[in-house]
Amino acid sequence: MNFSFEGYPDLKFKEGETILEFAIRNQIPLNHSCGGNATCGTCRVLVTSNLEHLPERNEVEKEISEDRSFSEFERLACQLNCGPNLTVKLPD
């Protein structure tokens, strides 16, 4: 199974590409006020499958997620790479 962004089927990710890079390349309307520098927290996505296989948040993402009270399935697209069997969606 491939990486999937709900509502945007049949798009392929590039090895080592962050979810934010994937979204920009595919013109998916994902906010990113700081340009992917992990300072704003606006590129939040919701992980809808295989959360248990994701790496732990790095220190920057951990700090932002604690400041904004993210749930465990909310991740920053600029800090998380696309990967097989991972599905994400835009927040409502």
Q: Strand, coil or helix: what is 23?
A: helix
For the domain that residue 30 is a member of, what is the CATH number?
Answer: 3.10.20.30
The count of domains in the chain is 1
Q: What are phi and psi of 47, to 5 degrees?
A: -85, 125
Which residues have CB under 8 Å from 38's CB, separation 6+? 60, 61, 64, 76, 78, 79
Q: pTM of the full predicted structure? A: 0.92
> Domain range for residue 45?
4-89
Per-residue pLDDT of the chain (92 residues; tens, 9 = 90+): 478 999 998 899 999 999 999 999 999 999 999 999 999 999 999 999 989 889 999 999 999 999 999 999 999 999 999 988 899 999 98
C-alpha to C-alpha distances, 5 to 8, 43, 52, 65, nearest whole angstrom: 6, 14, 18, 21
